[in-house]
Structures are given as structure tokens and as C-alpha cells.
Amino acid sequence: MLEAVREFAAERLGRNLDLESATRTKHASYFLSFAKGCVERLGTDREAEGLSGLAKEDDNLQTALRWAERAGDAETCALLAAAIYRSTFLRGFWEDAATVLAIGLGAGDSVSPPIRANLHFLTAWLERERGDLSGSRQAAETALTLQRETGDREAMRKTLNLLCGLRIAAGELDEASALLDEMETLIQGRDLHWQGVIFHNRACIADLREDYDQARELNESALRCRRLGGLKRGVAESLCNLGGLAYKRGDFKQAIDSYQEALRIRLTLHDRLGAAILLWNLAEAAEQVGSQPAAIALYREAERQFRELQSVYTSAATDSLDRMQQTLPPEAWRQAAAEAETKSWEDWAWSN
């Protein structure tokens, strides 16, 4: 009798496990398709919609990822990891982004080369933002090797662009220019996005070579391409660069106008790091035009956001506040710091 009960229970349990597996597989398949649709909107004029969708369904996407990992569905696991990374990274949750990338890369060599290459590329991007330029370059080189093997021109352009930025950051300007030359050979037709990217990078090189007139012309060309293409993230980047050039030549009103327009876009895109950098930029400009309370309020908010993001810029924002406090007479500092508390950082950001 007991043996018959055990056999019956085992049969029912087996059926339930099969049903759970089928249900979870369908769930993972559905949300993978959903995530792909959201990711396709990123980098377009529907980017905010795509990010909102990924954020809204984060719990379901995480559940699907964990199931794919346990079930050994390597391809689904890697694709979901890449999609979840996009949302977590852009919203500033970098530790979560690193965790899901590790899960995706842990799926192993059974994942197709293009998807593995993308995970290495995303790792390179994350490490760059965290300040590990060596680790970023290593991951990018791994991605590029896989992309060359598969002949994925679009992916190669993205990785060459990242490597170009790393070369620029290292002061290796001739090497960066060579990478841009290779990128240009991979562009087909009138591609406003990539034309804007190349103008942007050449502008950065001109800026570092202190050819500010050429840098401004190249940034304006990048901005035109990006406005025509409806590329909001790129428009914000070009506006930020033009604001920086205006700041260097002492045109602080123009710098503030450019930074404010860029900040509006970054906030719309829920780009926390980009917005924090622009708050810092606005604080510097406010300080130059004598608006000390605005500068203090904006430096404080930038510092807070950098700290939450565990950004390499945190100490720079802290140093800016310390410098202000040491430079201003004690009473002037106390008055400005008190006035900074009378309005929100949002009000100060648009006040100049």
C-alpha cells in the first residue's frame, strides 16, 4: 500500500515539475521577446519608452534570467543578461549591471560568438565608467576579436568607438585617429548616427590638441547630424561638449544654455550619470558668474548622485565644494550655503 502511494506521489510530482518547467520556459521566452523590443528602441527617439518598459518589468526579467541560468538555456540567459544590463546601467545600478553581465558570460562558449562579443563589449563599457580603463580595454579587445571573426560591421563600429575613447582618455591621439579611420571604412551610406560619432571623436582629439576652433566646428557638425537623426543621447553629448568649449573661452552664458538643454534631455532619458555630470558642469559655470548658492547646491547634488553611482567623479565634486569653502570668506560661505538650502537643486539648475 505504501509503495503504491509513493509511486502515485512521484508520478504527480513529475507531472507538476514538467508543468512548472514548461510554464517557466514560456515565461522566459515571452520576456526575452519583450526585452528585445525594448532594446531596439534604445538609441532612437523612443529610448525613454524602451527604458521605461525594461524598468517596469525588471522583476519578470530577473526571474526569467535566473530560470534560464538554472535550466542551462545559455543563449536565452546571455540575451536576457544583455537586456537587463542596459536598463540597470543606464539607471545607475552598476553593481546590479555587473552581476547580470557575470551571469551572461558564465553561460560559457556554447553562446553564439556575436552574443558573447556583445557581453564583452558591455563589460568594457561598464568598466570604463567605473574607472578601470585597463580592464575596459581588455574586454573591448576580446569583443573586437570575436566581431572580426564573424564580420559584424555594426558591432565592430561600436567597439572601435569605445576603444577610440579609451585611446583619447590615455592621450594616445594618433592611435585614436587611426581607429576613427577604420570606423569610417565600415560606414555605408548616409548614416547620421555614425557620422555624428566620428565628428564627436575628432572634436575631442582637436580639443586635446588645443585647436578649439576646429573642435567647435566638429562638435557643431556632430550636433547637426544628431538633431537630424533624432538621436537624443548624442544631441545631449554634443551640447555638453559645446558648453565645455564655451566655458573655456569665457562665454559662461552660452555654456549654461548648452548645459541646461543637455540636462533636460539626460533627465528625459533617465540617464543619471549624464545628468550628474551636467549638474557639476552647471555648478562650475554658476561659480564663474558669481552665483555661489547655485554652485553649492548643484555641486552637492552632483556629489550625492556620483556617490550613489559609485562614480569615479565623486571625489572631484567633493574637491570642488572643499575648494569653494576654502576660497570664500567664512561668513560669505555660511550665507551662500544657507541660501543654497532655500531652493531645490532643480530650481537652481534652471535659475541662471
Does 193 fall in a domain? no
DSSP string, 205-245: HHHHTT-HHHHHHHHHHHHHHHHHTT-HHHHHHHHHHHHHH
Query: CA-to-CA distance for 187 and 195, rounded, in angstroms?
Result: 8
Per-residue pLDDT band at 227 (split at 50, 70, 90) = very high
C-alpha cell at 16: 507538476
pTM for the whole structure: 0.76
Kindly report, residue by residue over 173-201, the tens digit of the pLDDT: 999 999 999 999 998 778 999 999 999 99
Kindly report, residue by residue over 11-20, the tens digit of the pLDDT: 554 556 566 7
Domain boundary among the residues 107, 142, 167 is at: 107
Closest CA to 136 of 106, 178, 166: 166
Does 304 fall in a domain? yes
Task: Check residue 178 and give its pLDDT.
Answer: 97
Question: How large is the average pLDDT for residues 82-90?
Answer: 83
Task: Check residue 72 and give its pLDDT.
Answer: 86
Query: CA-to-CA distance for 286 and 149, rounded, in angstroms?
Result: 50
Q: How many domains does the chain have?
A: 2
Question: How large is the average pLDDT for residues 259-269?
Answer: 95
DSSP state of 249: T
More reliable by pLDDT, 11 or 321: 321
User: Of all residues in the chain, what percent carry a pLDDT higher than 70?
Assistant: 94
Does 278 fall in a domain? yes
More reliable by pLDDT, 329 or 85: 329
Domain boundary among the residues 76, 107, 138 is at: 107
Does 61 fall in a domain? yes
pLDDT surpassing 50 at residue 148: yes
Most confident listed range (87-91, 212-216, 227-231, 308-312): 212-216
Domain boundary among the residues 55, 74, 107 is at: 107
pLDDT surpassing 60 at residue 350: yes
Question: How large is the average pLDDT for residues 194-216?
Answer: 97
Torsion of CA 191, 192, 197, 202, to 10 degrees: 100
Under 8 Å between Cβ of 262 and 278: yes
Does 293 fall in a domain? yes
Does 63 fall in a domain? yes
Does 200 fall in a domain? no
Per-residue pLDDT band at 239 (split at 50, 70, 90) = very high
Question: How large is the average pLDDT for residues 198-222?
Answer: 97
User: Of all residues in the chain, what percent carry a pLDDT higher than 90?
Assistant: 63
Question: How large is the average pLDDT for residues 149-161?
Answer: 94
DSSP state of 132: -
Please tell me the total number of residues recorded for the chain in this structure: 352
C-alpha cell at 42: 534604445
How much is the mean pLDDT over the chain?
89
* Domain interval for residue 81: 1-107
